[in-house]
Amino acid sequence: MFSMKKTDSVTFKIILGFVLLMAVITVGSFIAVQVILGRIGSNVSQGTASAGETFSRHYAFIHAGGDTALWDNIYGGALERGRELDAYTEYFGSSLTASFDKNKLVSMAMDAGVDGIIIDGDSDEETSRLIREAAGRGTPTVTILSDCADSARICFVGFGSYTMGRQYGAEIIKHYSNSSIDVSVLMDPDSAGGGQDLIISGISDEFADKGLRDACNVKGVYVHDDTPFTAEEEIRDIFMGRNLPGAIVALNSVYTRCLYQAAVDYNKVGDVYMYGFNDSDDILEAVDKGLLEATISVDATHMGASAVEALDEYLNTGYVSNYITQDTEVIRAGDVIREETE
């Protein structure tokens, strides 16, 4: 009897200790979440960006993917235009040591009480659901570069995808001979459909309008970039295959860098015509060296500014254009030389 009571006492103490531990963990987790929300949305009610700066509005700029240089330029445009319109645009979550995915950052932005959200759209239904939830809370969302067409976003700031496809097509035609040409377009699976499909249509229609409808076989190739090396490996696989296409088009700067680097590594420069996206210094250098036939650029700073203007207009008037289009520009080797010598 004595040993049984002792065992019961030990068991009770273990259970009690476990309950207390779980309580501490629960309280600690709650406090940690509040601290994080407080840090990323610090001084939200006053709209304070830093010492000496106060703003009437606070916007969350959310991007949790790659292509850092492009998105830094977009954010820079949003930040500066926001200041001019008495709004602080915060690169949401960038100051945290922990890493959160895009949808978690949207939830945190809503909880922090921001006045508006700027986000790169995608085909994830959860992203669309969160944008609808934000709208229900009175927080408008602007998508940028990639859209969430089925969500409740108030505006999409992007470029004319079909027009850009025609621009790529016009460049590819320059290298057309009497035989047909296979064209592979490297696409982001997170932005499936929509603009990327319009780019493919634009390339095909450019050939068709020149009487070469049957001369171009264009297809999309999804390239994942879940890790820093995924896109690199998948693009390298294209060069290791038996049937290398005649032309390859990369639709973002990450794919562009991987593309021309893989061509160099596998000694395929000159065996395939390559076309990129963005006008960062390294990509322009690749164009100048002849690694890329051309690249298409968009004014990233202006895109960021347009997104903030859309939020400002909507919050002031209740209305805004559903779609704001940015111009795109083709940059070839000769263009790069002129810019450097001016």
Region 194-223: mean pLDDT is 92
| CB-CB contact of 204 with 220 (8 Å) | no
pLDDT on residue 32: 45
Tens of pLDDT, residue by residue over 89-112, are: 999 987 777 788 899 999 999 999
Q: Is the pLDDT of residue 180 over 80?
A: yes
Q: Is the pLDDT of residue 203 over 70?
A: yes
pLDDT on residue 35: 42
Region 25-31: mean pLDDT is 45
Q: Rounded to 5 degrees, what angle do the CA atoms 162, 63, 150 make?
A: 50
Q: Is the pLDDT of residue 25 over 60?
A: no
Average pLDDT, the chain: 85
User: What is the pTM (predicted TM-score) of this model?
Assistant: 0.79
- Split at pLDDT 50, 70, 90, the class of 64 is confident
Distance separating alpha carbons of residues 146 and 39, to the nearest angstrom: 28
Q: Is the pLDDT of residue 17 over 70?
A: no
Tens of pLDDT, residue by residue over 119-144, are: 998 888 999 999 999 999 999 999 99
pLDDT on residue 99: 80
pLDDT on residue 65: 72
Q: Which amino acid is at 261?
A: Q
Strands of 116-119's sheet in order across: 87-91, 57-62, 116-119, 141-144, 155-159, 323-326
338 or 125, higher pLDDT: 125
Q: Is the pLDDT of residue 195 over 90?
A: no
Of 21-30, 59-68, 256-265, least confident by mean pLDDT is: 21-30
Task: Report the DSSP pairing between strands 141-144 and 155-159.
Answer: parallel
pLDDT on residue 44: 41
- Cα 209 to Cα 123, 182, 185, 204, 336, distances in angstroms: 31, 18, 20, 9, 29
